[in-house]
Structure 1
Amino acid sequence: MARSGRSEGNTINGKSRGGGKAPARRNSHRRVRPGDDAGIIPVLARAVREIEGAAERGKLSPSNRTKFQVIALLMREERARAKSETDISDSDRAEVLKRLDGVATILAKVAARDTSVITLLAEDAPVSDVARKLRRDMLMASGMELSPDELIIAVEPAAQTPDVEKQVVPQSVISRQLSNPFLAPDFSAVPKKPATTSHRLSNWELLEPLYRAFEYGSGGNVASMDLPEPAPADRRVPPGLELFHHQAEFVASAREGHRTYLLADEPGLGKTAQALLAASATNSYPLLVVVPNVVKMNWAREVERWTPHRTATVIHGSGEDLDAYADVVIVNYDVLDRHVGWLRTLGFKGMVVDEAHFIKNRESQRSRHVLSLAESIRLLRPRALMIALTGTPLINTIDDFRAIWQFLGWIDGDKPTAELMAKLEETGLTPADFGFFAEARQAVIDMGIVRRKKIDVASNLPAKRIADLPVELDDDLGRSIRDAERELGNRLKTRYLGLLASRAGAEYDGPQEELMRMVARAELEDSKSAKTGENVFTMVRRIGQAKAVLAADYTAQLARSVGKVVFFAKHIDVMDVAEETFARKGIKTVSIRGDQTATFRQAQVDAFNNDSEVSVVVASLTAAGVGLNLQAASNVVLAELSWTSAEQTQAIDRVHRIGQAEPVTAWRVIAAQTIDTKIAELIDSKAGLAARALDGNDEAVADAGEIQLEALIALLRDALSR
């Protein structure tokens, strides 16, 4: 956790962490001996004890999470400084490092209690202005002299400010504006109304309790609002199509007046059709739809399929082929920055964000543009239809809800907006009262969370099973992988024993399990920034390469015996090897990759679904794991494992969805006697966060970072047992 080699990359004011180059700290500050009660270490020690106490009382608050991140980063800076400076004795240097190890140990204890803070240690973890200010205050409290640049914390520009240099206005939009001078103006600069002040709850921090209400689960109660019984009009669809009862319920809710939804049905339950029919039932045109690039052509097709009386246009590149008069405007996240300016002027009556977990990081450019557009639509039309679609709204932390709730207008920054505040007021409770969590959770659900599971609403959908297919890597590559795993395990063992020895005679009464987690976490951080050498990520990739031919051989057998098969892999080189293997065996394939245009990718999907000669689609887990319909197959081969159960489920549900007529089998190819086996066990043993927050599942939760950490701990245990 306190690795010295990464201090420069972790400096809060550095380019990689906060934007803008960090000024070098002056070396003229007073030199203090390790035993002095001065300098940065006593400041860190006091702060980390506060964090430890807070973690013992429960989940860390946002302010304590910020403090955790700043402590870790300052600790790294101080460790690097102590190791690099030459004007202190070796004994003083050893004492400083020992005291820093004490801080690191407490941080490890905190992370063991609240695993969600692990993500704050990642290289790409966003660092807020609050964190920069806290760093400055801690350094000043330590007595260090700061440069003028360090004393001033620059506030980043407002999220709504688009990149003017990239902005374009397609000719079609100009023509529309000229033909109708009374188009909606841009209200993005209009100040928002302040939320209604509550005498009872106005002084309470409410978002953290709301998140906790979802994170702790609900004893089996699914997070889904009550929906009305659909009328015949809600079931009306074009000839040849069928609407399931759960889909008609959603349409009925919109027709009766509800306007904001987090539609979080499990993948494969027809969320696209529900959103389009809800827009039709409420006449929410023009409608803006923001989607991943991989599915934008499919969205245009779905508009024509479910609402043939409406027209759709897809924005490609700079929008040369755009039809600004269309009822539905479809744009992908990647080009949104070029069009956000003129999109505000079209007077949209509704907005749909597909795969809404893409906006979970509010600091990212895509999130800023989506939230900016949503705000401008609500300012013009407070009753606009706003729908966030995602079968996996929570990937890593419960905080993934924040951007989605803000998009829907349920929260404004760090507090509920007037409507949600009114619902919380109606409970008559405060976060200090018994029963508040359950009531607050229901209040948010009633704002528009809709979550249905396949087992409950699509009982006629064929069964789904996951079958593991162990393979032996008995060639030279397989042996080298096992050697590399042993080497990594021994490296972890050496770190662990060294850390254990350094604690001899010191004040340390923590269990060895926490030391193991600390060593594994330090290794994981090093792996994320390493350019060379063996680590857990390179090892998993090598395992994928070693399995590629074996997985392709099995896929070829399936294709010849049962028909079409979907082959998923994470890495391009694995996909390349698989395609070469299929070609040698005379099996015709198509490919879905991240570097393809939307039009070409859709053509590949169509060829797989409709061309009887195409037997296999070789698909990227990242590019094809969301939004696509591949139900022409009923067998899926997972050549490489994902780090999360959510990503694995999303991939399988490209096949197991409405329209599938046969039982679905997902074959996971697992390299026996390697870390691959442990990863598969961890994925199976940990429920997804969405299952806990939305489905009422009370099982343990783990994100990708936690599974990576547990896999390293397993290697360490194996090494200690040898």
Structure 2
Amino acid sequence: MARSGTRRAAGGRTGGRAAGGTGTASRRTRPVDNDGLIPVLARAVREVEAAAQRGALRPTNRTKFQAVALLMREERARVKVDATLTDSQRAEQLKRLDGVATILAKTAARDTSVIQLLGEDATLTEATRTVKRDMMIAGGMEMAPEDLVIAAEPTPVLETAERAVVPQAIVSRQLANPFLAPDFSLADAPVAHPRRLANWELFGPLFKSFEYGAGGGPASMPLPEPLTLHSPAGSTLMKHQAELIGAAADGHRTFLLADEPGLGKTAQSLLAADAANAFPLLVVVPNVVKTNWAREAALWVPNRTATVIHGDGDDLDGFADIIIVNYEILDRHVGWLGGLGFKGMVVDEAHFIKNKDSQRSRFVLQLAEKIRDRVASPLLMALTGTPLINSVEDFRTIWQFLGWIDDKKPRAELMNELEDIGLTPAEPGFFSEARRAVIDMGIVRRRKVDVAADIPARRIADIPVELDDEVGRSIRDAERELTAKLVQRYHSALANRTGQAPVDGIDHKLVRQVARWELEDIDASPTGENVFSMVRRIGRAKAQLAADYAAQLASNVGKVVFFAKHLDVMDQAEEVFARRNLRTATIRGDQTPAFRTAQIDSFVNDPDVAVIVCSLTAAGVGLNLQVASNVVLAELSWTSAEQTQAIDRVHRIGQEEPVTAWRIIAAQTIDMKIADLIDSKAGLAARALDGSDEEIVDSGDIQLDAMSAMLLEALESAEL
């Protein structure tokens, strides 16, 4: 811990104390601007942010993320009570710490597995304490001698071993049935008999077959004609729902159910489990929809009991047929879940596991493997309306969960199907036949336009708005400055090139590389302008205009669903609605399940609640809001999938009116480019799953594409 009167860390000044310290807060010897701890935190968090933009965070950056979060909280507490600071100095330092907090939140949104590191009960490893100490030394913090030495601790077998729990209800269940035997009665596991393809690398050709081998056909396996359109509980089904349930009743056991959002995937999976007698059933879902899953289970399979795991599972029903758990707490429960004897597993919003290196993906794959070890033919279902976010390879972890492939090659059943084609990837016809073989493993994709004629059409209408006030002018100035910086960086890189032949005109590869450098630049000032801060400023600037438009819609055409990404934009919108005397409900990420449910019910059932203000990230999945037919998107998402999910909260079975999504776009800003990029990405799933002939555009991150577009437009203008 840091203490007054102890020796100072090498080369440092006073300025704070270590985590958990109980001594008197140390004081700085002079005012801070670019010295002290805050610049150290800013550089470190930029480094972590850049790593998150490249993909899943590695252990080194996860450690740095946690150390920054700890020190930021401690420094904020110290600054608030530091009597040596003037009010303006305190405000300035708190503002800079808010900047660090914003980047931490943005990074956590990219790699949600690090959110657990922010908890008060998160494990503090030796590596984290070492990084934290080094940052304190670099920031000139006064430290006690014992804080300078990091004592080694035994490395746990699992990263989250200390968080693992076994609820008492599960202990009771295990004691009631201590001799849970594996079930190998359904089928023998197939054995692969490779012939032509023994030495071929097949993952590349399989993914390529979905990108180029569509041949005009939809990605959906043959399904039987339904014998009935009624569930066992007497509910009426749509034909496409009954078809999938019939396939499960006929013995099919693995499904990638990729129906467009709003076609009732939850009901289909529960009834498929009932048809396959796949109980006990494990359901892994995002946190925001787990209560809704329990409701749906009571509706569709009332003869089965369902329980939801909250926190450590103190109140769960250990003898339930359906156990529902959210991704965020899998680390606590993966141990006992793997030994409970599940006969089926459903993964909802399965695109959440597309990053195989993420913690949530590892736990899902581990659980699926344990189920396969005990049950020869378990029911495994991956549900997602948007299975492809950036690349066809987003399929990979989903296929592995379903047991179609392993780390290196197709598993036996798929390998035998590929062998039966009689071709290799070097021969004509392989791609279309390989695609068919994978689809027949269990891909089911239906579009609303094809199977739900009673659901009205939807459209997206862009509403350009002019930001003509001082804020708007400052945003355009900042965009010009950022563009000029990119242009200067491009010309500098071009001038310093050696050993490469000159490129005629604009070097498009270099344009993209410069954009990537800018996104990965760890030396940028924490208060400097970048594409993320600019987009957030645009969102705040549009908030009043977007809310005004939503208020007009609510007054003229009825209930409206209002989506935004940032809480401050939601706050501004709610202030506008209050001034207009419009009652609102709200969906945010920090709500309890009970409060969230009450908010949804008030919007759906109370005619006086005109608008529901929703977070794009917290309310983009699992909500049925078809009581409205107008959606206002106040801020743009970074993916077309997130936008689609938001719109489909309204465009669902039960909708009786045409649905319109109104996108509020700031004219003459990067907002326009982002909207175009979002629209261009929407072709990916259409080609891979719907058999569309639409060309797939480059599937890189929209952030990178937006930066590249800014630079390219400036270079092209200079050439004219």
TM-score bracket for the superposition, by shorter chain length: 0.7 to 0.9
Tell me which residue corresponds to 2:66. none
Q: 1:625 touches 1:647 (CA, 8 Å); kept in 2?
A: yes
- Structure 2 counterpart of 1:166, from 163, 167, 181: 163
TM-score, normalised to structure 1, is 0.75
- Structure 1 counterpart of 2:435, from 430, 441, 445: 441
For the pair 1:568 / 2:608, whether they are aligned, the reply is no
For the pair 1:580 / 2:575, whether they are aligned, the reply is yes
Deviations 1:249-300 (A, max 9, x none): 0011111110000000011111111111111112111111100001000000
- Structure 1 counterpart of 2:711, from 690, 702, 716: 716
For the pair 1:285 / 2:245, whether they are aligned, the reply is no
CA distance in 2 between partners of 1:193 and 1:277 (Å): 25
Deviations 1:494-549 (A, max 9, x none): 12233333459963236513332232232233389863311111111110000001
Tell me which residue corresponds to 2:200. 204
Tell me which residue corresponds to 1:413. 407
CA distance in 1 between partners of 2:172 and 2:58 (Å): 41
For the pair 1:301 / 2:295, whether they are aligned, the reply is yes
Moved over 6 A (4+): 5-12, 122-126, 527-530
Query: Which structure 2 residues correspond to residues 142-161 of structure 1 after superposition, within 5 A?
Result: none
SS of the residue aligned with 2:201? coil
CA distance in 2 between partners of 1:418 and 1:505 (Å): 49
Letter in 1 for 2:333: H
For the pair 1:671 / 2:666, whether they are aligned, the reply is yes
Query: Which structure 2 residues correspond to residues 507-546 of structure 1 after superposition, within 5 A?
Result: 507-509=501-503, 511-512=505-506, 513-526=508-521, 531-546=526-541
- Structure 2 counterpart of 1:251, from 241, 245, 254: 245
Deviations 1:331-362 (A, max 9, x none): 10011111111112221111100000111111
Cα distance change on mapping 1:123 and 1:628 into 2, 3 Å: closer
Cα distance change on mapping 1:165 and 1:197 into 2, 3 Å: farther
Letter in 1 for 2:221: M
Q: 1:687 touches 1:700 (CA, 8 Å); kept in 2?
A: no
Query: Which structure 2 residues correspond to residues 6-45 of structure 1 after superposition, within 5 A?
Result: 18-19=58-59
Query: Which structure 2 residues correspond to residues 172-321 of structure 1 after superposition, within 5 A?
Result: 172-184=169-181, 196-232=192-228, 235-236=230-231, 238-239=233-234, 241-321=235-315
For the pair 1:681 / 2:676, whether they are aligned, the reply is yes
Deviations 1:615-662 (A, max 9, x none): 111111111111211111110000011122221111100100111111
Q: 1:168 touches 1:318 (CA, 8 Å); kept in 2?
A: yes
CA distance in 2 between partners of 1:702 and 1:170 (Å): 48
For the pair 1:351 / 2:391, whether they are aligned, the reply is no
- Structure 2 counterpart of 1:481, from 475, 484, 499: 475
Tell me which residue corresponds to 1:450. 444
Q: 2:626 touches 2:650 (CA, 8 Å); kept in 1?
A: yes
Q: 1:186 touches 1:376 (CA, 8 Å); kept in 2?
A: no
CA distance in 2 between partners of 1:356 and 1:515 (Å): 35
Letter in 2 for 1:413: D
Unpaired segments ≥5 residues, structure 1: 23-121, 127-156
Q: 1:217 touches 1:694 (CA, 8 Å); kept in 2?
A: no
CA distance in 2 between partners of 1:8 and 1:549 (Å): 34
Cα distance change on mapping 1:475 and 1:343 into 2, 3 Å: same
SS of the residue aligned with 1:568? strand
Cα distance change on mapping 1:208 and 1:673 into 2, 3 Å: same
CA distance in 1 between partners of 2:192 and 2:667 (Å): 60
For the pair 1:557 / 2:597, whether they are aligned, the reply is no
CA distance in 1 between partners of 2:513 and 2:197 (Å): 40
Cα distance change on mapping 1:312 and 1:510 into 2, 3 Å: farther
Query: Which structure 2 residues correspond to residues 379-398 of structure 1 after superposition, within 5 A?
Result: 379-398=373-392
Cα distance change on mapping 1:710 and 1:610 into 2, 3 Å: same
Q: 2:345 touches 2:381 (CA, 8 Å); kept in 1?
A: yes
CA distance in 1 between partners of 2:524 and 2:341 (Å): 45
CA distance in 1 between partners of 2:304 and 2:440 (Å): 30
Letter in 2 for 1:216: Y
Range with greater deviation from structure 2 (287-296 or 178-187): 178-187
Q: CA deviation at 1:186?
A: 12
For the pair 1:402 / 2:396, whether they are aligned, the reply is yes
Q: CA deviation at 1:613?
A: 2.1
Q: 2:390 touches 2:701 (CA, 8 Å); kept in 1?
A: no
CA distance in 1 between partners of 2:309 and 2:232 (Å): 27
CA distance in 1 between partners of 2:341 and 2:539 (Å): 49
Q: 1:564 touches 1:633 (CA, 8 Å); kept in 2?
A: yes
Q: 2:231 touches 2:271 (CA, 8 Å); kept in 1?
A: no
Q: CA deviation at 1:236?
A: 3.0
SS of the residue aligned with 1:580? helix
CA distance in 2 between partners of 1:11 and 1:300 (Å): 37
Q: 1:217 touches 1:698 (CA, 8 Å); kept in 2?
A: no
CA distance in 1 between partners of 2:371 and 2:271 (Å): 20
Letter in 2 for 1:209: P
CA distance in 2 between partners of 1:17 and 1:266 (Å): 30
Unpaired segments ≥5 residues, structure 2: 1-42, 63-108, 114-154
Letter in 1 for 2:214: S
For the pair 1:322 / 2:319, whether they are aligned, the reply is no
Letter in 2 for 1:690: A
Tell me which residue corresponds to 2:369. 375
Cα distance change on mapping 1:294 and 1:179 into 2, 3 Å: same
CA distance in 2 between partners of 1:530 and 1:263 (Å): 45
Tell me which residue corresponds to 1:607. 602
Q: 2:633 touches 2:663 (CA, 8 Å); kept in 1?
A: yes
Q: CA deviation at 1:318?
A: 0.5
CA distance in 2 between partners of 1:587 and 1:502 (Å): 60
Deviations 1:165-184 (A, max 9, x none): 11111111111122222235
Q: CA deviation at 1:663?
A: 0.9
SS of the residue aligned with 2:609? coil
Q: 2:190 touches 2:413 (CA, 8 Å); kept in 1?
A: no
Q: 2:195 touches 2:419 (CA, 8 Å); kept in 1?
A: no
- Structure 2 counterpart of 1:594, from 571, 574, 589: 589
Cα distance change on mapping 1:20 and 1:492 into 2, 3 Å: closer
Q: Percent identity?
A: 66
Q: 1:123 touches 1:528 (CA, 8 Å); kept in 2?
A: no
Q: 2:213 touches 2:435 (CA, 8 Å); kept in 1?
A: no
Cα distance change on mapping 1:511 and 1:242 into 2, 3 Å: farther
Cα distance change on mapping 1:173 and 1:635 into 2, 3 Å: same
Root-mean-square deviation (Å): 3.0
CA distance in 1 between partners of 2:712 and 2:61 (Å): 41
CA distance in 2 between partners of 1:318 and 1:273 (Å): 27
Tell me which residue corresponds to 2:102. none
Cα distance change on mapping 1:533 and 1:568 into 2, 3 Å: same
Tell me which residue corresponds to 1:641. 636
